[in-house]
Amino acid sequence: MVPEKMAPSHPKNIIFLTCDASGVMPPVARLTPEQAQYHFISGYTSKIAGTEIELGIEPEITFSACFGAPFMVRHPFEYAEMLKQRMLKHKSRCWLVNTGWVGGRFGVGKRISIGHTRNLLNAALEGKLNKVKYRKDKLFGFEVPLSCPDVPEDVLEPSTSWGDKEEYWKKYDALAARFIENFKLFASGCLKRSSMPARRGMGSGE
């Protein structure tokens, strides 16, 4: 008998939601347990007008440890380590799903289609993304599917939808630099507690 208010089993898929207003991150990426730790500790997203008080039209990049920093009483790594151990024990997959902009940053591109996001989530949950080929992201190291049912390839590869590829990579480099700067707030605490990879601050283990 399942105890009251407890799920009957552990999740096989874990979803991290982010909203990238810079328009450079892929709509979905598969994370290793170490990468899941890194992105969980980072808690990257964008504050959007209409959901935040006193915020102007322009979205604001923000990092909130464990996607809920005000509610975390311990060092973020402790929660990230619990996440990793449960992922390993129950063979759970972790996906970073981006509901932000494609084809350019805010003001240039557009929000990714809800239909495309829904198709990506369904494919991940139904195991369809386990059967496709992936590319390794050169900055973050996570894996991005090259195909997904009912999702155009130019959505899966954000750089192809930008008019200026050079500008795309400048923006991507700038975002990666923001991740690295933010992680410096937590790096020493993480390294004291484990052998969590710190190269380039991306948790890739390379």
Give residue 3's pLDDT.
Answer: 64
> Residue 89: is it exposed, middle or buried by C-beta count within 10 angstroms (0-12/13-18/19+)?
exposed
Q: What is the mean pLDDT of residues 74-94?
A: 93
52-68 pLDDT, tens digit per residue, is 455 556 788 899 998 88
Find the radius of gyration of the CA atoms of the chain: 17
180-193 pLDDT, tens digit per residue, is 999 998 887 776 55
Ranges of each domain in the chain: 13-48+60-198
Distances (CA, A) of 80 to 42, 45, 69, 74, 204: 10, 18, 13, 11, 15
Distance CA 43, CA 76 (A): 10
- Percent of the chain with pLDDT strictly greater than 90: 61
Distance CA 25, CA 175 (A): 9
For residue 199, is pLDDT > 60? Answer: no
Cα of first residue to Cα of last residue in the chain, in angstroms, is 44
For residue 39, is pLDDT > 90? Answer: yes
For residue 84, is pLDDT > 70? Answer: yes
98-114 pLDDT, tens digit per residue, is 999 988 888 888 999 99
- Residue holding tokens 């024990």? 89
Give residue 198's pLDDT.
Answer: 42
CATH of domain 13-48+60-198: 3.90.228.20
Q: What is the mean pLDDT of residues 31-37?
A: 96
For residue 7, is pLDDT > 80? Answer: no
Q: What is the mean pLDDT of residues 19-32?
A: 95
For residue 50, is pLDDT > 60? Answer: no
Q: What is the mean pLDDT of residues 158-167?
A: 89
Beta strands 93-98 and 13-18: pairing type? parallel
Average pLDDT, the chain: 86
Distances (CA, A) of 102 to 28, 31, 92, 108, 179: 12, 21, 28, 9, 20
